[in-house]
Chain A
Amino acid sequence: QQQVKQSPQSLIVQKGGISIINCAYENTAFDYFPWYQQFPGKGPALLIAIRPDVSEKKEGRFTISFNKSAKQFSLHIMDSQPGDSATYFCAASRNYGQNFVFGPGTRLSVLP
């Protein structure tokens, strides 16, 4: 119930294309869903986050789509750039919960 599943494990996209990463969860008590971006040798950096009272949130080229009934959420990166090449983690937590549960990560490579 505490798991967050993430797919695909790796993704290769051409420059200018759309990158889509999907996550699914079981625990309906989760109510905060952030996405983190991690470059090699660095800590994860918050990219964008959503709460389940909205179905979509957009910040620049990054969009989260959230489907509460299916218990799924996804990250869309529009106009993908080589600089977006990194590992992306979805996560979930309960309000004022101590434990952020992370997905296993998706390694994105954007080809020039």
Chain B
Amino acid sequence: ETGVTQSPTHLIKTRGQQVTLRCSSQSGHNTVSWYQQALGQGPQFIFQYYREEENGRGNFPPRFSGLQFPNYSSELNVNALELDDSALYLCASSSDPGDTQYFGPGTRLTVL
């Protein structure tokens, strides 16, 4: 059974650019949640996808968008990057919404 994987590991972008982060869910999991973790803080919920549909969204602007594919892998897209978007972006998968979430190692995004 493979765990949650994320790519890339690190990414450097400049302000105003767009970025796509990818996540492969754990085998057997149909739900993917995305979190933003700023340095020294707890993860903040961005949104969740369940069976390819958005299943809830946190307090993030529309320039944060996502997608889930039929194999339950997922993408997080961020447009018009701002300096404050610099953070560790975490993907977590679960067997159902609200069930135990298993996190990937994260993608460290730096916006210059």
Cβ-defined partner of B42 (8 Å) among A49, A98, A105: A105
> By the criterion CB–CB under 8 Å, are A101 and B98 in contact?
no
5 inter-chain pairs at a CB distance below 8 angstroms, sorted by A residue, are: A34-B101, A36-B103, A43-B106, A45-B103, A99-B56
Stretch of A54-62, A76-84, A88-96 that contacts chain B: A88-96
Chain A residues engaging chain B, CB cutoff 8 angstroms: 6, 32, 34, 36, 41-46, 49, 89, 91, 93-105
Query: Could you tell me if A44 and B43 are in contact, using CB atoms closer than 8 angstroms?
Result: yes
Q: Given known contacts A98-B55, A99-B48, A105-B42, is B90 in contact with A43 (CB within 8 Å)?
A: yes
CA gap between A43 and B6 in the complex, in Å: 10
Q: Is B2 an interface residue (CB 8 A)?
A: no
Of the candidates A42, A94, A100, the one whose C-beta lies within 8 Å of that of B101 is A100
> With an 8 A cutoff between CB atoms, is B24 at the interface?
no
> Is B41 within 8 A of A104, CB to CB?
yes
Q: Which residues of B contact A103 (CB under 8 A)?
A: 42
In this complex, the interface size class of chain B, counting residues with CB under 8 Å from chain A, is 20 to 34
CB of A32 within 8 A of CB of B98, answer yes
By beta carbon, the residue of chain A nearest B104 is A43
Which B residue sits closest to A31, measured CB to CB?
B98
B45 CB contacts on chain A under 8 angstroms: 98-101
Q: Mark B46-63, 1 if CB is under 8 A from A, else 0.
A: 011010000111100000
Chain B 22-52 interface 0/1 with A at a Cβ cutoff of 8 Å (1 = within): 0000000000010100001111110110100
Q: Is the CB of B98 within 8 A of A97?
A: yes
- Write the nearest CB–CB distance from B63 to chain A, whole angstroms: 20
Q: Is the CB of A98 within 8 A of B56?
A: yes
Q: Which of B35, B98, B105, B106 contacts A93 (CB 8 A)?
A: B98
**Nearest CB on B from A42, distance (A):** 6
Contacts A42-B105, A43-B103 known; A96 to B97 CB distance under 8 Å? yes
Query: Is B100 a contact partner of A34 (Cβ separation < 8 A)?
Result: yes
For the complex, give the distance between the alpha carbons of A100 and B42 in Å: 11
CA distance A105 to B96 in the complex (A): 25
Closest to B54 in A: A98
